[in-house]
Each structure stands twice: as structure tokens, then as C-alpha cells.
């Protein structure tokens, strides 16, 4: 089962970019920040998107969970 990720899990980002989530990297986009600005308790489903040949674990943020 993949984790869900909150803004606190990635250090409360204010700009789009890659952020650490434990030993993994998470791609945060401006739309995610906009949702967190209006619903700080929101969590996102994590989508595993590790690149072929890349040993780093990477996640993208999927659908928001707003009633967390």
C-alpha cells in the first residue's frame, strides 16, 4: 500500500519542486500548494514513479483526500 502525504510530511512547501519524504523524493506542483493553502489538512495519494535505472524512490501526488 502506498502512503498518503500531507504538507507537513514534505516540510510545508510554498513553491513547486522536489521535496524529501523520508528517503524518497516527492514532486509538488503549484496546484498541490493551492489545495494545501485552502485545506491545510488535505492529504494526497502517493503515486510511485521511480525512473528506470534510478535507485531513488520518487512519488508524484495524486488525488487529494480532503476529509482527512
pLDDT at 60: 95
pLDDT digits (tens, 9 = 90+) for 2-34: 799 999 999 999 999 999 999 999 999 999 999
Answer whether residue 49 is part of any domain. Answer: yes
What is residue 68's three-state secondary structure? coil
Range of the domain at 42: 4-62
Radius of gyration (C-alpha) of the chain in whole angstroms: 11
H helices of the chain, where?
Answer: 30-38
Domain count, the chain: 1
* Whole-prediction pTM: 0.86
Q: Extract the runs of DSSP E, i.e. beta strands, from the chain.
A: 4-6, 17-21, 24-28, 43-48, 58-65
**φ, ψ at 7 (rounded to 5°):** -65, -35
Examine residue 68 and state whether it is found in any structural domain, yes or no: no
Amino acid at each position: 500500500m502506498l502512503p498518503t502525504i500531507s504538507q507537513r510530511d514534505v516540510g510545508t512547501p510554498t513553491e513547486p519542486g522536489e521535496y524529501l519524504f523520508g528517503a524518497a523524493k516527492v514532486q509538488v506542483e503549484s496546484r498541490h500548494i493551492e489545495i494545501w493553502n485552502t485545506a491545510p489538512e488535505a492529504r494526497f495519494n502517493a503515486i510511485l514513479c521511480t525512473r528506470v535505472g534510478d535507485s531513488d524512490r520518487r512519488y508524484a501526488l495524486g488525488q487529494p483526500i480532503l476529509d482527512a
